[in-house]
Amino acid sequence: MLKIIVNARKLLPWAVGAFIIVFLIGAGFTSASTPFPPLGKARSHALAEDGKLGNIQNATLGFEKIFVISLPSRSDHRDAVVLASHLTCLAVDIVDGITHVDDKAQPPGAEKFTTTGALGAWRAHMNTLQTIVKHNTTSALIMEDDTDWDIRIKSQMQNFARASRLLLQPISGTAATYLDPTILHPEEALIQGAQTFDIAHSAVPQATSSPYGDVHRWDLLWLGHCGASLPRAENHLPLGRVSISADETVPEKQHIDPQLGDQQLIQQYSDHTRVVSRAYMNTCSLAYAVSLQGARRILYELAIRKIDKAMDLSLQDMCDGVNDRPGLTCLSVLPQLFQQHRPIARESSFSDIDKRQDGADMAEEKYNNIAFSRNIRWSTRGNLRQLVYGDTNYTDLFPDGMPKPDLVG
Ligand SMILES: *[C@@H]1O[C@H](CO)[C@@H](O)[C@H](O)[C@H]1NC(C)=O
Ligand SMILES: *[C@@H]1O[C@H](CO)[C@@H](O)[C@H](O)[C@H]1NC(C)=O
Ligand SMILES: *[C@@H]1O[C@H](CO)[C@@H](O)[C@H](O)[C@H]1NC(C)=O
């Protein structure tokens, strides 16, 4: 059993103080240093340190960068994402969203897109991947600007990393023996079915180039989605799962909304359990981390080779290794760590891809009266008031022992 979640209520005033200091020092450093120092002794030495779990406490969650894709016109989204990142000690780089893609610039298949919004969203993700490749960025987290996370995201991501290492790294002291036998022997999957390993498993392997597992061992970590499934033997993916049990940041089952995913988490695991596995049938590109290798592969496949369906479904094909896409190594987590936030607003304001139909009567449109993010207990967006004023009585929309609240949208 694991209980390493710290009591954030007690720690927060300290965290805020520490953050102000780190922020001031950080501001001094960034203006003085070049963003991409030449590779030298200092950098290669630093590389060996990059795998430390403690780095996840840094302003980029142990990745080299965090990018947030945001349309310049959605100033409301920008205000909220900048404030939410700042209050949880995350440093984000904003990437402009795209509303128009020249016909001549569209790769094969793009004629299948029916909305300019979906094509623009694809392009904004490709621009971000292009930046990662251009700057040789080792790993980066890419988020959309309506994404939310728990106030305790850093301890959650440390647990995720302990789980992802168990699925990606060879067992300590071996070169190529894995905890999950189905990584090397997929035929084992049909005999054994899916095995679940506890996050506290003793074979904890070290990683060197990233706290989440060496960057050459993974392409994508699908941390924010609107539904995913746990792979089954017939999906031809490694089946190993790692469970993070007694995680108080996971709501009780009655509150869990699988959205477009399957029911296995609810059916097979106890309350307050989070499960990390290979990604399967993930939808929505709300938040995902890529290694440089992953960024190169996605940029090649989706920007140059072809794009014939929405960006997230194309990524899903790559992670699942289906529909004429070679498989990537993608991990996912249920329930997700990043989620779409639904603020108090008109429902049509939620999406830039699906526009409100012209002529629809604004007065008849549904209005969302409760700010929420499915499956996220101490939502950062839902607690901006508390965080700004230093009130530690956080809103938890999904308290234990209570029925699921009635949410729209
Ligand atoms: C956070 O840690 C990662 C390596 O684990 C490193 O690449 C990155 O530069 C660090 N970010 C900051 C802001 O220090
Ligand atoms: C990118 O970074 C890697 C690892 O730090 C290095 O080996 C490689 O030479 C770099 N490539 C470029 C083009 O800077
Ligand atoms: C915390 O907030 C809830 C909901 O607004 C309220 O009912 C409760 O009394 C508050 N608790 C404290 C200790 O202020």
99-132: pLDDT as tens digits? 999 999 999 999 888 888 999 999 999 999 999 9
**Nearest-ligand number for the alpha carbon of 391:** 3
Q: How many Å apart are CA 219 and CA 201, to the nearest integer?
A: 24
More confident residue, 353 or 109: 109
Say if ligand 1 is within 6 A of residue 62 CB: yes
Say whether pLDDT at 338 is over 70.
yes
For residue 244, pLDDT beyond 70: yes
Local confidence band at 192 (pLDDT 50, 70, 90 cut-offs): confident
Which residue type does 326 have? P
**Six token digits for residue 395:** 């809103």
Distance 398 CA to ligand 3 centre (A): 15
Which ligand 2 atom is nearest residue 47's CA?
Answer: 5
Distance separating the N- and C-terminal Cα atoms of the chain: 36
| Secondary structure (3-state) at 58 | coil
Q: Which residues line ligand 2 (CB under 6 A)?
A: 39, 136
Q: Dig out the tokens for 153 from the structure.
A: 């995201």
Asked if residue 8 has pLDDT above 60, the reply is: no
Instruction: Give Cα separations from 165 to 142, 209, 274, 293 (angstroms).
Output: 21, 12, 15, 18
pLDDT at 48: 59
User: Does 319 have pLDDT greater than 90?
Assistant: yes
Residues 32-61: what's their mean pLDDT? 64
The amino acid occupying position 19 is: F
Average pLDDT on 340-344 reads: 92
Q: Is the CB of 188 under 6 A from ligand 1?
A: no
Half-sphere exposure of 52 (CA within 13 A, CB side): 9
Q: Kindly list the distances between the CA atom of residue 332 and the CA atoms of 88, 217, 241, 245, in Å, as whole numbers in the listed order.
A: 22, 15, 10, 16
